[in-house]
Amino acid sequence: MDSTRRAGGTRRDFLYLTAGAMGAVGVSSALWVLPNSMNPAADTLALASTEVDISKIQVGQAITAVWRGAPLFIRHRTPEEIAKERAVDWQSLRDPQKDEDSAVKAEWLIVKGVCTHLGCIPLGTKAGQPRGEYGGWICPCHGSQYDLSGRIRSGPAPKNLLVPPYTFVTDTLIRVG
């Protein structure tokens, strides 16, 4: 021991420290790599955008498209519906959002069809389904109700239906994502 002792530490201290440092680097890179491998893979991410033809949706009708493996509601709103949503006192809502911000073209409301509570698919898109008190959607799981701007109006869901990023490629074709 004594023969190897130098000011500032021994050879053994040095070996401990370098081995420890290498170990720490190894473990922390594994801790980065392994959990990260569980994030969406490249092909899943590549599917992230979809085009939908909306020419056949009549005024007052809605359809369900598929975007990233989840339903997407596309509703062609009537002038009365638009007027009603734009008149809502949006600042007092749970998740305050102006109708003008969610529906860029007033007659088209495009929202992800996944309840922001626990992920069920709200009813109200197909003709004949219940649409809740606010005329939009009602979730079968725990009764969250959304209006025709996709805003949460009652029930346990904390947020409005997600408005995905979309652009109008032409007047009748949208690209979502």
Partner 1 sequence: MASAGKKVKFDNPVVQWINDRLPIYSILHDQYGNFPTPRNFNYFWSFGAIAMAMLGIMIVTGVFLAMSYTPHTTLAFESIEHMMRDVNYGWLMRYTHMNGASFFFIAVYIHISRGLFYGSYRQPRELVWIFGVVIMLLMMVTAFMGYTLPWSQMSGWGVTVITSLFSAVPLIGDGLVTWLWGGFAVDNPTLNRFYALHFLLPFVICAVVFVHVWALHVSGSNNPTGVEPKSEKDVIPFNPYYTTKDSFGTVVFMIIFMAVVFFAPLVLADPAHFRQFDPMQTPPHIVPEWYFLPFYAILRAFTIDLNIPFTHIILLPAKLQGVIAMFSSILLLLFLPWLDTSPVRSAVYRPVYKWCLLLLLLAVCALTYAGSKPPEGMPLWFGIVGTFYYFLHFLVIVPVLGKYEKTLTPPASISESVEAGHE
Query: What residues are annotated to the active site?
Result: 142
| Span from 30-38, 43-51, 69-77, 142-150 in contact with ligand FES (CB under 6 A) | 142-150
Does 141 bind ligand FES (CB under 6 A)? Our answer is: yes
Q: Which does 144 bind (CB under 5 to 8 A by kind): partner 1, ligand FES, none?
A: ligand FES
Does 145 bind ligand FES (CB under 6 A)? Our answer is: no
Distance CA 79, CA 106 (A): 9
- Binding to partner 1 (CB under 8 A) within 60-99 occurs at 64, 66, 68-71, 92, 94, 96
CB count within 10 Å of CB 20 equals 10
Does 139 bind ligand FES (CB under 6 A)? Our answer is: yes
- Residue 124: CA atoms inside 13 Å, Cβ hemisphere, count? 29
CA 30 → CA 16, 23, 26, 147, distances in Å?
21, 11, 6, 46
- Under the rule (CB under 8 A), what is the footprint of partner 1? 35, 38-41, 44, 48, 64, 66, 68-71, 92, 94, 96, 116-121, 140-143, 156-158
